[in-house]
């Protein structure tokens, strides 16, 4: 009887893991500083999709990270404009979200951001929800 219970427990554990792993990988990239994470993060996402194109990726930005989503914003180190890089990733299915608390704290308006930017009430809450409720993997470049 003890062997039967052990086999059942192992079977349920393996079945549960198999069901959980089904479907594409889902990842949240967390960017809160455009200067140190902007180009590196966008490059990481591009490379991620090059190797695993079926991956579902959501980028959540808050604090100074929202700068990568602002119209006309450029990387300070090398002058590369973010918008074309973001646009290329959006065309591959990546979703970019900007924290509305950051907008309020920095006196920013939604029309200052790249066309089709998505907004979330709280970037930190969104990252936590994606990790905990939706089981997204977490990457902070």
Q: How is the chain split into domains, by residue range? A: 24-139
How does residue 30 score in pLDDT terms, banded at 50, 70 and 90? very high
Tell me the two tokens of residue 1.
Answer: 């009887």
User: Using one digit for the tens of pLDDT, what is the confidence trace for 54-81?
Assistant: 999 999 999 999 999 999 999 999 999 9
Q: What is the pTM of this model?
A: 0.84
Is the domain spanning 24-139 CATH 3.40.1260.10? The answer is yes
Cβ–Cβ under 8 Å, residues 22 and 130: no
Q: What confidence score (pLDDT) does residue 23 get?
A: 83
User: Using one digit for the tens of pLDDT, what is the confidence trace for 88-100?
Assistant: 999 999 999 999 9
Looking only at the bridges linking them, the beta strands covering 137-139 and 118-120 are unpaired
Tell me the two tokens of residue 129.
Answer: 């929800």
Cβ–Cβ under 8 Å, residues 138 and 28: yes
Query: CA angle, corner 42, sides to 110 and 20, nearest 5?
Result: 95
The values of phi and psi at residue 103, to 5°, are: -55, -45
How far is the C-alpha of 74 from the C-alpha of 81, rounded, in Å? 4
Whether the predicted pLDDT of 20 surpasses 60: no
Looking only at the bridges linking them, the beta strands covering 118-120 and 26-33 are unpaired
| Residue 65 burial (CB count, 10 A) | 26
Whether the predicted pLDDT of 42 surpasses 60: yes
């Amino acid at each position: 009887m003890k062997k039967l219970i052990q086999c059942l427990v192992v079977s349920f554990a393996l079945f549960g893991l198999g069901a959980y792993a089904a479907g594409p990988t889902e990842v949240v990239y967390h960017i809160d500083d455009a200067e140190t994470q902007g180009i590196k993060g966008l490059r990481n996402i591009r490379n991620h999709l090059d190797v695993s194109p079926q991956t579902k990726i959501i980028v959540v930005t808050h604090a100074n990270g929202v700068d990568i989503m602002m119209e006309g914003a450029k990387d300070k180190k090398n002058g590369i404009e973010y918008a074309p890089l973001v646009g290329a990733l959006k065309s591959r299915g990546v979703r970019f979200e900007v924290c509305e608390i950051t907008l309020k704290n920095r006196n920013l308006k939604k029309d200052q951001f790249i066309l089709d930017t998505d907004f979330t009430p709280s970037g930190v809450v969104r990252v936590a929800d994606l990790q905990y409720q939706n089981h997204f993997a977490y990457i902070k470049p």
